[in-house]
Structure 1
Amino acid sequence: MKTEHVMIGVSIAAALATLPSIVLASASNAALDGLNTAEAPRVTQTVDNRVVSALGNTHLSLLDQMKPTGSVADSTPMNHMQLVLQRSSLRASALESLIAAQHNPASSKFHKWVTPAEFGATFGVADSDIAAATSWLVSQGFTVHGVYPNKMQIDFSGTAGQVRQAFRTQESRYTVNKVSHIANSGDISVPAALRSVVVGVAGLNDFRPQPLHKQPQVAQFNASTQRFKIQQSSAAAAKKPNPFAVPFTGGVRGFVPYDMNVIYNTSALYSAGLTGSGITIAVVEDLGMDNSDWPNFVSQFNLGSYGGTFLQFQPQLSPSTGNCTDPGGEDPFSESIETVLDSEWSTAMAPGANIWVATCNDAGSTNFFGGVFTAADNLINSTSRPNIISASYGYGEGFTDSASKFAIDLMWAQADAEGISVFVSTGDSGSNPSFNGSIINGVPAIDANSFATSPNDTGVGGTDTADVLDGTTSKYFSSTLNSVYGSALSYVPEITWNTSCGNTRAAKDLVNLTALKFCKTALIYDPNGDYVTSESGSGGPSSVDIKPSWQRIVRGAAKDQSRDLPDVSLFGGSYGGYSWVILCTGFYPCTTNFTSPVELVAGTSLSSPMFAGIQALIDQGLSNAGLSPNQGNAAPTLYELARSEYGGPTGSAPASLAKCDSDNGTKGTSKCVFYNITDGGNSTQCIQIVAFAQTTPDCYFYGTIQNFEGFYGPTQVGLTSSDATKYNSTTAAFAARPGWSFANGLGSVNANNLLSAWKKFVNAP
């Protein structure tokens, strides 16, 4: 694919002018040959606003338990909403069939990707139906900005009053977790004539997810200890020491690119000339970064010789809809740490790749995912597209309305059909990803990141290195840093990243207790709940998307009907806050020998761009072998390769399942594609504040905290569990297990072995 930025789009005038009675698939692409997608328009009656049909589940059901704090004034602008359209069942089936064939090496359509225009013509809504929907929006006083090339989304703006009149729903204000939000208080209605082609409206609420990283820490390097000393805030320093903290001294560890290159064996690919050269990774963001950060990172860690490039821009539709405005942040004082993390650590794994930082302003849109959604959507509908997208944002499906969820899944399916590999962080708060930086409460404790549960993306969870808890650091890391500040000697055994007392490995290694007893004992020494946390790599079942066939084929696959997360995992953070990665930011730039402070960060926001970087190496390796540099969704291939190593869902386990256990470290694992993480889990703490009268399902309560975080009265504290009446290794949500698990998916990877296995699977020379 080309790597230059090109303005793209389809004008509304063109959509209105082309009104064929039958829409045919394009015959120019062999991928579309034989697909039966011809259909007559579905809007066949007069669009009458007096005859309406309600669209179920088009408001956030969690708000039904809450009382609005007020109504939104009719004059309030509602900018860049999207009328999300529904393709016919015929076209939905054809798209699913095509994507399956595009991932099947035995198919004549293998790696025959489509363009946005081909996608729209073949799988979108008929032009006459789009014209009918557009005309109705205009008749209601809305400003229509454009139709996406996929012919599934109409961008429009108006006011809350126009929304109330046209869609028969009131925009109201709610306070959730001490934050004020707006949302439609009831389901919407549309003219009955449009019912068959309209899913709903994305942009009627502003419950936007947060970046999935741990709060960054400023730290100063100590040359004598070869460690970093975190500069604690006065509030943190005032806390009593955690009685069950990891007993380390001399500061904390800051990982650099060299460490991850050694641990996941990307360094072997660099030696073979595979650095991601010619491959473009786009990280999608809602705030920019200081343009000097990336070159500083590349220089500090000696990555400049690999030839990677950096471009920060706003992906636009053309003619311009105005839905992607500059969010700012390109200075040290206002930049986004998330954006810095994504750009630098995708480069850390693929130093020769082209990095696109695509940013759009949240303020320009009321869409659920705001600028992040718009940036990704505009890129996917471009004539110049990246090979890979990494998105490190998330919120649970329980906080996502049906139209927004449909739009997200539509977006990733289009990316897959176009050959774009999408990686999404699964979350940083255990079995419910909606509580990054806070504690699971007031909603079911089991949920999944709505941005990652599409069957057309790859969800990436978080791991922790086991050496600190095991006391084996000297076996896997040098005591002194090398010339690029690295110390890793080899692959390091991994466990699930989990900072709570629900960490079974920490409970065993530190005090030889079960997690439940560990938590109960901790409560004795921590009666105020200062160290209660839900911080952990996330995983769980979707309540919306069904399980794709490729997720059923591997040992350990959950016996449910849900799309389950994660698919794979990489380092995300550590128990006790000992291990982090280093960022070079505008306010804290990296200097030679770290003579000045740096920022340390962790989270699955790190895991996703790192896996995107590994995918770039795979893409270049396949391209060098004469195959397409685009792989589409990586997950179907990853599961096929894992089946060879772990075995299928039934029958005897192959010897390689035990051989590739992460606990083996380097012993016998040199030929493994995956490191199967079988220890630990992401069951974390959850609470129920009695005074609020809000229940927290899926939480096993083991104790009570008085006056927790300023709330008067008792707060129940528990651990996330699939059975709230008991807690053990079977009900804990969720324990790591052999094969696939909700804790870490298929586990982490050896990048060099992954490429070899991938090439064999696709019959590459």
Structure 2
Amino acid sequence: MKSGHLYLCGAMALALAGIPVVSSAQSNAALAGINTAEGPRVTKTVDSRALSALPHTHLAVVDRSTPTQSVDDATPMAHLHLVLQRSAQRQAALEALSAAQHDPKSPKFHQWVTPDQFGQAFGVVDADIAATTAWLRSQGFTVNSVFPNKLEIDFSGNAGQVKRAFHTTMNRYTIDGASHIANATDISVPSALQSVLAGVAGLSDIHPQPQHVAIKVGQFDAATKTFKSNNATTSAASASPMASTLPSGARGLVPYDMSKMYGADQLYAAGITGSGINIAVVENAGMQPGDWYNFVSQFGLFGYGGTFQEFQPQATGFTTCENPGTGSDAGETVLDAEWATGLAPGANIWVATCNDTPTWPGEFVAAINLINGANRPNIISMSYGVSEQRVDPGSKAAIDALWAQADAEGISVFISSGDSGSNPDFNGQTIMGEGIGANALATSPHDTAVGGTDTADILDGTTSTYFSPTVNAVYGSALSYVPEIPWNMSCGNEVAAKALGYASSIAMCTAYEQPGFQGEYPTGISEASGGGPSSVDGKPAWQTLVYNTANDQSRDVPDVVLFGGSYGGYTWAVICTQNEPCSPNFVAPTASVGGTSLSAPMFAGIQALIDQGMAAQGGSAYQGNAAPTLYALAAQEYGSADGKKPPQGLAVCNADSSTKEARGCVFHNITRGGIATQCWQQPPFTVTPDCYVYAQTPGWQYPWEFGLTSTSTTTYNATTEAYAARPGWSFAAGLGSVNAQNLLWAWQAYLK
């Protein structure tokens, strides 16, 4: 027999001999009483001529694109990941353990596992891994390693080997104006292996993107306490008619402001600063350490004792993380590291950065290695995003499995919800958006998705109530919590429309599009906090606890929100970069930024305060996924989803409430505004799903049509727009933002 076609695998031999392959005995309390012993599932001869297709293992966007050329067979494809699929028995056991780990009444509460224990209990059995790696080698691939979780096999080869082994063609496509490679059809594998394989991660090079707006550079004006733009070009938002009545310049928020707004400053006074807690920000590019030290020095954070280190994490026995290079200073990395410190000034910041492989984004290489390594952080923050529509099932399975493993190990994972409203593919420059969706990285039931808000004071005309006209010694001016609305820079912002004198967002959008009717369609703006239902992951039980949660079967995002940006580009967060270092009194040009890339590391900072606070009371410094506890606390405040518990806290805890009682709320329930953004299409060539059309270019054979994202293409109102904020939970703002001090107190009380 030719080994490339037919061989008897070790797993089958063991099965025929009647010798089951079982997990070794576990000493960890989390696994006590959990029986995940099972024999191999690969029990037939692995025949490369007897094939089964793995459904939906190519990208839908490929079907709407024309290949420009095929990928040369000799093209290297290094560090692909063959994603394995655990059995239904082990999947059920994992979910049961996860629920118990988050249940204060369970003996398994906060009993975490190690990567090796996770792999033994919830991975694929060794015999099936042996069968799979043997088949990969028979196809000419190099098997680099099997991760400790026993769910991913790192292997390398070339495009020709991929084509022959997986029976698909690798092509180049032009997608959103850029060249990408992807497999043209679903992959096929030997039928004997089908039950243990979920797919191959890395066949497509459409990678997640950082979730922040372009960095703004401005010169501080001491007279107005704002930054005057130094950017060569002005954003469409600030140049458009709809921003004409907003203040000039830009307000730069600093750590003092954020800590005051979200109640973290009260914890600092009690010694809760995140001390002893490790926050890892995972990145695909590095930064200059001097930026972070400049940030903590400029804004008075040195005295809290936080630390900084930048390194390339390696999983146990692995060397897959390569240095992206010295001397780099990526804006995303700077933002994440500095603003995790901004809310947790005593925490240890780990900048875990790996170079992109040809097939796998560096931020995931970093996350995989951290979660499967010997030295694991308490918290991971990831500020990248890509639509579920542009992630193949193998990669999505790998993402979800990774966050489930992190949760089982006690690591809290925070992911940006996205920066394009309810349509994560629409970026204001393309018409290839797939409609309503969600960030694929954030829709696992084992992470916490963080969206973005805008301070409402500018549009409400109440700035003097919430901000001092002068800045203090650390350049802060916030006086208290500031009412919030969902971050939305587009003309779909209903609060902005009313503030600027329009009857509705449709009226403002229609006025905004008028210049485009002269022959050029406008650039358009789609920047807004991300939110929407998953098309892959089902709704976890904890997301059904709260009043007004979506009546669907999907994992919905976001879970919580913090400041992300502002309508008209007026308010941003200051960062210190190599090119724009922060200087005393801001005498030099200063950089600022926004987006849900800001929101996620800030919430990671708040979680560090929770972790330290719990450890101080004898609890665990590892809290696992924050979402189950957040929803349980929100149900206490807003009422339950079934209505049996009256939502008495809804009015009191409204983000616009100024009552004395509101000071005791854990959450700020955001009920104004929404995240509906612009969309457009040019029928019959392109039709964008979930787009309510309000205008079109006249006189063209195939006119451009402009719209707002909506669940209805014929009606647009508060019920159909995608999406409006509302009492309780919403796609626009999740559970709302938080008061860190009240959150810690409630967390401690709930978990006693």
TM range (shorter): over 0.9
CA distance in structure 2 between the aligned counterparts of 1:213 and 1:440, rounded to whole angstroms? 18
Partner deviation per Cα, 1:107-139 (whole Å, 9 max, x = no partner):
000000000000001011111110110011111
Stretch deviating more after TM superposition (80-89 or 523-532): 523-532
Corresponding residue SS for 2:47? coil
Q: Give the one of 719, 730, 738 matched to 2:708.
A: 719
CA distance in structure 1 between the aligned counterparts of 2:585 and 2:552, rounded to whole angstroms? 51
Corresponding residue SS for 2:155? strand
Shift of 1:95: 0.3
Partner deviation per Cα, 1:214-233 (whole Å, 9 max, x = no partner):
01111111112111001131
Partner deviation per Cα, 1:307-338 (whole Å, 9 max, x = no partner):
10101011123433x4211112x43xx42100
Shift of 1:443: 3.3
CA distance in structure 1 between the aligned counterparts of 2:658 and 2:370, rounded to whole angstroms? 40
Shift of 1:33: 1.0
- Given the alignment of the two structures, is residue 497 of structure 1 paired with residue 497 of structure 2, yes or no? no
Give TM-score, length-normalised by structure 2.
0.95
Percent identity, aligned pairs only, is 59
Partner deviation per Cα, 1:592-615 (whole Å, 9 max, x = no partner):
111111111000000000000000
> Quick one: structure 1 residues 240 and 97, their matched pair in 2 at CA, closer, same or farther if it must change by over 3 Å?
closer
CA distance in structure 2 between the aligned counterparts of 1:487 and 1:131, rounded to whole angstroms? 61
- Given the alignment of the two structures, is residue 569 of structure 1 paired with residue 558 of structure 2, yes or no? no
- What is the match of residue 450 of structure 2? 460
Unpaired segments ≥5 residues, structure 2: 1-10
Corresponding residue SS for 2:528? coil
- What is the match of residue 127 of structure 1? 126
- Given the alignment of the two structures, is residue 93 of structure 1 paired with residue 92 of structure 2, yes or no? yes
CA distance in structure 1 between the aligned counterparts of 2:521 and 2:488, rounded to whole angstroms? 17
Shift of 1:641: 0.1
Matches within 5 A, 1:42-441: 42-233=41-232, 235-236=233-234, 241-245=239-243, 247-320=245-318, 322-328=319-325, 330-331=326-327, 334-362=328-356, 364-367=357-360, 370-436=361-427, 438-439=428-429, 441=431
- Given the alignment of the two structures, is residue 749 of structure 1 paired with residue 746 of structure 2, yes or no? no
Matches within 5 A, 1:605-684: 605-651=597-643, 653-665=646-658, 667-684=660-677
> Quick one: structure 1 residues 240 and 574, their matched pair in 2 at CA, closer, same or farther if it must change by over 3 Å?
closer
CA distance in structure 1 between the aligned counterparts of 2:363 and 2:316, rounded to whole angstroms? 19
CA distance in structure 2 between the aligned counterparts of 1:282 and 1:646, rounded to whole angstroms? 32
Do the aligned partners of 1:491 and 1:666 also contact (CA within 8 Å) in 2?
A: no
Stretch deviating more after TM superposition (99-108 or 287-296): 287-296
> Quick one: structure 1 residues 301 and 666, their matched pair in 2 at CA, closer, same or farther if it must change by over 3 Å?
farther
CA distance in structure 2 between the aligned counterparts of 1:665 and 1:685, rounded to whole angstroms? 33
> Quick one: structure 1 residues 670 and 440, their matched pair in 2 at CA, closer, same or farther if it must change by over 3 Å?
farther
Do the aligned partners of 2:486 and 2:675 also contact (CA within 8 Å) in 1?
A: yes
> Quick one: structure 1 residues 314 and 752, their matched pair in 2 at CA, closer, same or farther if it must change by over 3 Å?
same
Corresponding residue SS for 1:136? helix
Partner deviation per Cα, 1:218-252 (whole Å, 9 max, x = no partner):
1111112111001131x439999421105234521
CA distance in structure 1 between the aligned counterparts of 2:417 and 2:626, rounded to whole angstroms? 15
Corresponding residue SS for 1:205? coil
What one-letter code is carried by the residue in structure 2 that aligns with 1:513? A
Partner deviation per Cα, 1:658-717 (whole Å, 9 max, x = no partner):
1100011465310000000000000010011348x121010001112489xxx9973211
Do the aligned partners of 2:316 and 2:372 also contact (CA within 8 Å) in 1?
A: no
Partner deviation per Cα, 1:534-560 (whole Å, 9 max, x = no partner):
110010000000000100110010000
Partner deviation per Cα, 1:336-355 (whole Å, 9 max, x = no partner):
10000000000000000000
- What is the match of residue 604 of structure 1? 596
Do the aligned partners of 2:315 and 2:374 also contact (CA within 8 Å) in 1?
A: no
What one-letter code is carried by the residue in structure 1 that aligns with 2:246? F
- What is the match of residue 7 of structure 2? none
CA distance in structure 1 between the aligned counterparts of 2:237 and 2:415, rounded to whole angstroms? 34
Partner deviation per Cα, 1:19-56 (whole Å, 9 max, x = no partner):
97321253201110111201011111121111111111
Corresponding residue SS for 2:704? strand
Q: Give the one of 526, 530, 538 matched to 2:530.
A: 538
What one-letter code is carried by the residue in structure 2 that aligns with 1:680? G
Corresponding residue SS for 1:100? helix
What one-letter code is carried by the residue in structure 2 that aligns with 1:407? A
CA distance in structure 1 between the aligned counterparts of 2:562 and 2:306, rounded to whole angstroms? 22
CA distance in structure 1 between the aligned counterparts of 2:623 and 2:351, rounded to whole angstroms? 21
Shift of 1:373: 1.0
Partner deviation per Cα, 1:48-68 (whole Å, 9 max, x = no partner):
111111111111022112211
Shift of 1:98: 0.2
- What is the match of residue 508 of structure 2? 518
What one-letter code is carried by the residue in structure 2 that aligns with 1:199? A
Q: Give the one of 533, 545, 549 matched to 2:541.
A: 549
Shift of 1:434: 2.7
Corresponding residue SS for 1:511? coil
Shift of 1:260: 0.2
Q: CA RMSD in A?
A: 2.1
- What is the match of residue 470 of structure 1? 460
Paired residues, what number? Answer: 737
CA distance in structure 2 between the aligned counterparts of 1:237 and 1:719, rounded to whole angstroms? 20
> Quick one: structure 1 residues 515 and 440, their matched pair in 2 at CA, closer, same or farther if it must change by over 3 Å?
farther
Partner deviation per Cα, 1:443-473 (whole Å, 9 max, x = no partner):
3320100000000000000100000000000
- What is the match of residue 472 of structure 2? 482
Shift of 1:521: 2.6
Partner deviation per Cα, 1:555-586 (whole Å, 9 max, x = no partner):
01000000000000000000000000001001
- Given the alignment of the two structures, is residue 581 of structure 1 paired with residue 570 of structure 2, yes or no? no
- What is the match of residue 6 of structure 2? none
CA distance in structure 2 between the aligned counterparts of 1:705 and 1:423, rounded to whole angstroms? 42
Do the aligned partners of 2:425 and 2:433 also contact (CA within 8 Å) in 1?
A: no
CA distance in structure 1 between the aligned counterparts of 2:659 and 2:527, rounded to whole angstroms? 29
> Quick one: structure 1 residues 686 and 439, their matched pair in 2 at CA, closer, same or farther if it must change by over 3 Å?
farther
- What is the match of residue 9 of structure 1? none
Corresponding residue SS for 2:664? coil
CA distance in structure 2 between the aligned counterparts of 1:162 and 1:577, rounded to whole angstroms? 49
Do the aligned partners of 2:453 and 2:529 also contact (CA within 8 Å) in 1?
A: yes
What one-letter code is carried by the residue in structure 1 that aligns with 2:613? G
What one-letter code is carried by the residue in structure 1 that aligns with 2:374? T
CA distance in structure 1 between the aligned counterparts of 2:250 and 2:235, rounded to whole angstroms? 16
Corresponding residue SS for 1:433? coil
> Quick one: structure 1 residues 238 and 630, their matched pair in 2 at CA, closer, same or farther if it must change by over 3 Å?
closer
Do the aligned partners of 2:424 and 2:433 also contact (CA within 8 Å) in 1?
A: no
Corresponding residue SS for 2:156? strand
Partner deviation per Cα, 1:465-520 (whole Å, 9 max, x = no partner):
00000000000000011000000000000001001111011111111411112212
CA distance in structure 1 between the aligned counterparts of 2:189 and 2:237, rounded to whole angstroms? 54
Do the aligned partners of 2:415 and 2:441 also contact (CA within 8 Å) in 1?
A: yes
Do the aligned partners of 1:287 and 1:360 also contact (CA within 8 Å) in 2?
A: yes
Unpaired segments ≥5 residues, structure 1: 1-14
Shift of 1:529: 4.8
Shift of 1:656: 1.3
What one-letter code is carried by the residue in structure 1 that aligns with 2:552? D
Corresponding residue SS for 1:714? coil
Shift of 1:441: 2.8
CA distance in structure 1 between the aligned counterparts of 2:312 and 2:659, rounded to whole angstroms? 44
